[in-house]
Amino acid sequence: MRLTTFTDYGLRVLMRLAGAPDRALSTADLAAEFQVSRNHLAKVISALAGAGYLETRRGGGGGAMLARAPAEIRLGDVLACLEADQAIVECFSPGGAACTLTPHCRLKGRLAQAEVAFIADLNRSTLADCVYRPEGAWSAP
C-alpha cells in the first residue's frame, strides 16, 4: 500500500507536535522544517484540525497544537481519516464500477479485508509510540 503525501505530511505534523506538546507551531515553521509547500501543509493542518486531532490559533503566538494526548490518537484512525478520499483500486471509488471484471471479481473482497487489517494493525499503535523529539531523537515509550 502506498500512502499519499497528504497523509505522510499529516503523520509528520502529528509526530512533530507530539514532541513539543507545550508549544504551538506555525504552518510556516513546520513547512520550513519539513521542506515542503506551506500551502499544501496548510491543507493538511486544516484537515487534521477538522478531524479533531489539532487545535489551531491565528495571529501572533498562534499555530497548531495537539487537541488530544498522543496516547489517545490511534495511527490507523489518522490514516483512515486522511486517506478517506483515496480508493486503493478504482472499483472502491464511488461509481467506480467501470472494470469489466467487477461482476465476478474475487480480488475486491480480499483487498477490502487487507485494508481493514492494515488499519487495525496500525491502530495497535498510538501517536505516543512515534513521538518525534525536536533535537532529532526518536522516542518509544
pLDDT tens series, the chain, 141 aa: 678 899 999 999 999 999 988 889 999 999 999 999 999 999 999 999 999 999 998 877 789 999 999 999 999 999 999 988 776 666 666 766 677 777 778 887 888 898 899 999 999 999 999 987 666 444 444
pLDDT at 22: 83
What local confidence, expressed as pLDDT, does residue 96 receive? 61
pLDDT of residue 137: 41
In this structure, what CATH number is given to the domain that contains residue 68?
1.10.10.10
Indicate the DSSP class of residue 36.
Answer: -
* Residue 93 counted as domain residue: yes
91 domain residue, yes or no:
yes
User: Is residue 51 a part of any domain in this protein?
Assistant: yes
- Please answer whether residues 99 and 105 qualify as being in contact, where contact means their C-beta atoms are separated by less than 8 angstroms: yes
Domain of residue 30 covers 5-130
Identify whether 141 is part of a domain. Answer: no
In a domain, 108, yes or no: yes
User: Is residue 140 domain-resident?
Assistant: no
Residue-level pLDDT at 1? 67
The pLDDT of residue 48 is 97
pLDDT at 73: 97
Q: Does the residue 106 lie in any domain? A: yes
Provide the domain count of the chain: 1
Predicted pLDDT of residue 138: 42
**SS3 call for 91:** helix
Task: Say how far apart CA 16 and CA 132 lie, in whole Å.
Answer: 5
**Full-model pTM:** 0.83
Residue appearing with cell numbers 501543509: 41
